[in-house]
Each structure stands twice: as C-alpha cells, then as structure tokens.
Amino acid sequence: MCGIVGFTGKREAVPVLLNGLYKLEYRGYDSAGVALIQDGRIETVKTKGRIKELDEKLQSIGGFKSTCGIGHTRWATHGEPSDVNAHPHLSDNRTIALVHNGILENYLEIREMLKAEGFHIKSDTDSEVAAHLFQKYYKGDPIDTLLKLSHRLRGAYAFAIISADRPGEMFCTRRDNPLIIGIGEGENMIASDIPAILQMTRKFIVLNDGEAARVTPDGVTVYNDIGQVIEKEINTVTWDLSSAEKGGYEHFMIKEIMEEPKAVRDTVMPRIKDGLPALSECGLSDDLFRGIRGIHIVACGSALHAGLVGKVMIEKLSRIPVTATIASEFRYSDPIIGPDDLCIVISQSGETADTLAAMREAKKKGARTVGVVNVVASNAAREADGVLYTWAGPEIAVATTKAYASQLAALYLIAVKAGLASGHTTEEEAKKYCAEIARLPELIEEDLKLREQLQKLASLYYNRDHMFYIGRGVDCAAAQEASLKLKEISYIHSEAYAGGELKHGTISLIEKGTVVIALACDPALYEKTISNVKSVKARGADVILVTNGDFKPDGEVCDHVVKIPETSSFLSASLSIVPMQLFAYYVGVARGCDIDKPRNLAKSVTVE
C-alpha cells in the first residue's frame, strides 16, 4: 500500500528518491511521483503506472539538481489511478507539496469548505485537501501547521511535506500509519518503510502517533503533539540490503519460500530452552495461561490463516477455548472479551489497520494482548503488552510465504506453552513437541525438494479456471492458505472447504476437469478425507492428494500424490503449505502473472 520517501542532503535528490521508491514497490501501488524544491519553486513529476515510467519521465525532462524532495507510490483508494490523482499534491499557491499515506475520513466536508473559500481542487483524492489546508493554516511555522492539521483531520495518515520557503527542509507527522526517519551523515530521509532508507543508513527513528518532525541535512528535531521538542531513541536495522534483494532468484516469492527453513529456525531456536518453550519475555508466562478464560486470535489474510492453525493446536494441547476472527469483523462486533482473556494479534507488517484496531478494542476491554509480529518496532509490536517476533527477515513479495511459515512456528510454541501451563500437556509431551518443532527447518528443507514435482503439476493445470482445496482439522486451516496463495498469485478462482462440508452445496460445482487439491496429513482423519476425495473423483475432478501417508496415485482416489515429509499431525500444516506455495508460484509463472506484485494487492494494508 502507498509508500513515502523523502530526502534532504548535499547530493541530488532524484536518484535517492527513485531508489527509495523502487524499494517500496513491493508494498503495491498504481501511480507514483516526486516533488522537489528547485530554485525556490516546487516542481512535481507524476505518472500513472510503474516507477520505471516515472524514472523515464524524470530522465526525459532532466535538469533536476535539487538536493531535497519527497516521493510517493500511490495505491488508489479515492479516485482512479491517474497522473492527477498521483501524489505529491500541491497547495493552491503551489508553495507546498505533500504526500500522504492513509485515508482522511472527513475529507469531503473539508473539501467543500475549501472550495467555498476559493481553493481549486484538482484531484479526486482525499489527500489533496491536506495540502490546501496546510496552506490555509500556514503562518511560517510548518510544525505548528502540521499540529493544526492533525487536529482538523480525522482518519489515518502519514504526511511528508516540503515548502518552497524552506529549501533543504522536510516536515512530517503521522497517525495510525507508519513513518520512520533515516539518520545519515549530512543527509537524512523520511520513509514509510525500512527498505527505502537502507541505501543511505541503517539508523532510524520511529515516529509515534501525533508526533511531528523537522528534517534537515544536518539534523532531525522531533516534537510531541503539543509542539515540545522530545528525545527519540535511535534504532538500528539488523538485516542488510541483500536480504531485501532477489539474490539470483527470478522472483522474491520463490526466494522467500526457499528461505523458510531459516525463518523458522530463527523464530524457534532462541525460544526453546532445556527442551521447553521459553516465552516469558514475550509476555506469555505460565501464570498468564493458568489465569485466562479464553484466547482470541485476530488477524487478516494469511496471518488469520496462521491463526486458524494456531487455534487447532492451542485448543488441542491446552483445552483453552480459542477463537480466530477476521480483525475487520472483530473490531465492530462488540467482542466478548475482557480482563480474563488473552488476545493474540498476528501480523507480518505490524501495521495492518484492521488488526491494530482489533487489538485496541481488545485492550480497551481489558484483555491482555500479545503480538506475533515480524516487523520490529512496528505499531503492533509497540502497542501490544507482549511481542513474540517472528524472525523471518524482510518479506518483499506481496504474497506472504516465509512470514506465514514463521507465524505457524511461533504459534506451535505458544500451543506447547499453553498446554504445559494449563496442565493438559505433560512435560514429557511438551519436550517431544519441542523436539519436533526444532526439527521443522530440516523437514522444510526436505519439503523444498518437491519443487520440480510442483512445477510439473503447475504445467498440467495452470490453464484451469477453478480449483478447490479440501481438508479436515488442521488440513482445513492449511487449505485456506493454500487457496489464498493461488488466488493472489495466479488469479485463478479457488475455494477452500472443510472436506465434510463440500457435499452441502459446493459439490454441485465439481465437474469433469475441475481441479481438487486434497490435504490429508492427519492419520486420524485420512479415511474421512479419502471418502470426500472419492466423491469428487467420481464426478470427474482431477485430484492432487497432498499427504504424509502412503497413498498411490491410482486414478480412482487421486491422479497425483504429493508426498510431504512424515511428522505428527501437530506440525503438518508447515509441511503441507510449502508444496502449495510452490504450486501457486509455478501456476502464476506459467500464466505470466506479476508474481511479486499481484494486481490490486498491497503488502501492508494500512487503510480500513
């Protein structure tokens, strides 16, 4: 979703801004632009489409010597993707350029007011009003103006601003949208995300809600929401630029799938001590699990799918009731949650607007919150009472793979911990589970050897219009994620169903040539799933069976068997999902899709 970059220093700003925008491409966008202070005036160059087009446009215009500017990638919400709707937006008198991430909820009312006062509104966006409003409030102090803007605007935002009368200076503020300031030597940057600043520095400040900053080549001054100067901690990025580059792979997605063993290893190994899960420092103590009435998992997309697996595992091992709810539903449902409950929020980015809102709702009702989060110092990580980081490293492909894998691993540890604390899992059993979890990276390595088989299967079925995924228990939860991956990457319509539910309506869609992928990785449920498979096979489906059991592709039950490494059903979702991610990847490649940046999708969804 939209990306912000800003630079001020002694060298030319355009190459730095473009480099930063390229690094933010993965967030998803459909237009882009930059604004520069040049000879006391503000110049903007914007274009619908890719950064490459903006790059070409800037080159063809040429002559940009400015050392200070802001840039933006826009993911359309209000108004179609177009040059005019692209950011930066200018104030009416063309002295202010502004980029915005988020959604301004009261923009219509402000727009009418501005129009009545004679301002000329050029775009359909909510963001443009902020530029005009800035002009209206501006009396020579940009920080004071930003604070006024914050009071007047409702909604979520991160703003970066340059003003023609302040060459070399940038100003920014945020509420419910991420913004960091990269600290260099004689040069500084503003960005919505770390990859954009890594070209210059590994040091950064995280701006909190309501704070504003003035950024010059030689310094950064941060103000609180009443305009007082405050001290900020300087963080250091622990991963390097190469982790955010393709490293010889054709796409980030396949690179990140191949990185799953490492992601899982880094997530679990530091948290297994003396053979048992050590999670107290994440806020997950034995006492916490002993005292709670229930656990509520809230998340969106794949993170929710990880939560569905977590629900099965935590309930199985601890008998503590667990709900796993879509964050956007949870937040408006007046959820039954209170001081006796634990709310686990799962989020790769830690910035998903609905997930954050759901967490705040749970907190407001007195629940204890723990975030399973990948991005260090993100909103979710900072706001939750405890945080269990998934050390997957930067994930660039929009469709998550390694972050999902590490979320599952983190949830297994939570399940064992809850089981032990609640007394439903013995220490001996817990040690056995932990030993299995510790073996996961090795098993995933083995799993990845299925790559060629999945590529072949993809070549057989990539041109089908519909695919169904079925499974029971934990396989049903994994099927949801398998199906989402296919949809995201290949644009093939697909649905995931509980094996036993298919017959209640959806089976009417199965006909000759429909592809059904059945996940059967729990020996206790093999027979049940195989009966479901037979019923679709009898109706002409082409069936791929993903299993750790000993099945043969006999043409009666299934056409192909994808044999994943054997483990107990406890960990099977981690092993069944790998071939499914590979399948989605190769189907997407065969269809010529934009693998790392699928249409209409954003990596981090910071709007409702």
Nearer to ligand G6P, 128 or 361 (CB): 361
- Is 64:58 a contact under the CB 8 Å cutoff? yes
Respond yes or no: is residue 2 known to be catalytic.
yes
The encoded tokens of residue 504 equal 């209640």
What strands lie across the sheet with 96-104, from one edge to the other?
89-90, 96-104, 155-163, 170-175, 212-216, 219-223, 229-230
Q: What does the alpha-carbon distance between residue 178 and residue 3 come to, in Å, rounded to a whole number?
A: 10
Count of residues near ligand G6P by CB under 6 A: 16
Secondary structure in 3-state letters for 178-243: CCEEEECCCCEEEECCHHHCCCCCCEEEECCCCCEEEEECCEEEEECCCCCEECCCCEECCCCHHH
Nearer to ligand G6P, 189 or 398 (CB): 398
Give the number of other CB atoms < 10 A from CB of residue 437: 27
Q: Does 400 bind ligand G6P (CB under 6 A)?
A: yes
Respond yes or no: is residue 603 known to be catalytic.
yes
β-pairing verdict for 386-389 and 368-373: parallel
Nearer to ligand G6P, 178 or 277 (CB): 178
- Is 297:311 a contact under the CB 8 Å cutoff? yes
Q: Which member of 390, 548, 604, 606 binds ligand G6P (CB under 6 A)?
A: 604
The window from 241-249, 264-272, 296-304, 333-341 that contacts ligand G6P (CB under 6 A) reads: 296-304
Nearer to ligand G6P, 138 or 252 (CB): 252
The window from 31-39, 108-116, 199-207, 600-608 that contacts ligand G6P (CB under 6 A) reads: 600-608
The encoded tokens of residue 206 equal 């995280």
Q: Does 401 bind ligand G6P (CB under 6 A)?
A: no
Q: Which residue, judged by CB position, is nearest to ligand G6P in the bound state?
A: 301
Q: Does 603 bind ligand G6P (CB under 6 A)?
A: yes
Q: Which member of 131, 264, 300, 370 binds ligand G6P (CB under 6 A)?
A: 300
Q: Which member of 191, 303, 337, 367 binds ligand G6P (CB under 6 A)?
A: 303
**Residues in region 84-123 near ligand G6P by CB under 6 A:** none
The window from 393-401, 472-480, 502-510, 565-573 that contacts ligand G6P (CB under 6 A) reads: 393-401
Q: What does the alpha-carbon distance between residue 410 and residue 78 come to, in Å, rounded to a whole number?
A: 37
SS3 label, residue 367: coil
Question: Which of 46, 48, 417, 603 is flagged as catalytic?
Answer: 603
* Residue 601 CB, nearest approach to ligand G6P (Å): 5
Give the number of other CB atoms < 10 A from CB of residue 77: 15
Q: Does 177 bind ligand G6P (CB under 6 A)?
A: no
Nearer to ligand G6P, 348 or 494 (CB): 348
* Cβ contacts of 158 within 8 Å, gap of 6 or more: 4, 100, 101, 102, 172, 173, 174, 175, 177, 178, 179, 192
- Is 558:552 a contact under the CB 8 Å cutoff? no
* Residue 397 CB, nearest approach to ligand G6P (Å): 9
DSSP state of 565: P
Site string for ligand G6P, 342-371 (x = CB under 6 A): -----xxx--x--x----------------
* Residue 394 CB, nearest approach to ligand G6P (Å): 12
**Residues in region 476-515 near ligand G6P by CB under 6 A:** none
Q: Which member of 88, 301, 441, 565 binds ligand G6P (CB under 6 A)?
A: 301
Q: Does 601 bind ligand G6P (CB under 6 A)?
A: yes
Q: What does the alpha-carbon distance between residue 166 and residue 104 come to, in Å, rounded to a whole number?
A: 26
Q: Does 379 bind ligand G6P (CB under 6 A)?
A: no
Helix (H) or strand (E) holding 104: strand 96-104
Identify whether 553 is preceded by a cis peptide bond (ω within 30 of 0).
no
Catalytic residue list: 2, 603
- Which residue ranges make up the site for ligand G6P (CB under 6 A)? 300-303, 347-349, 352, 355, 398-400, 601, 603-605
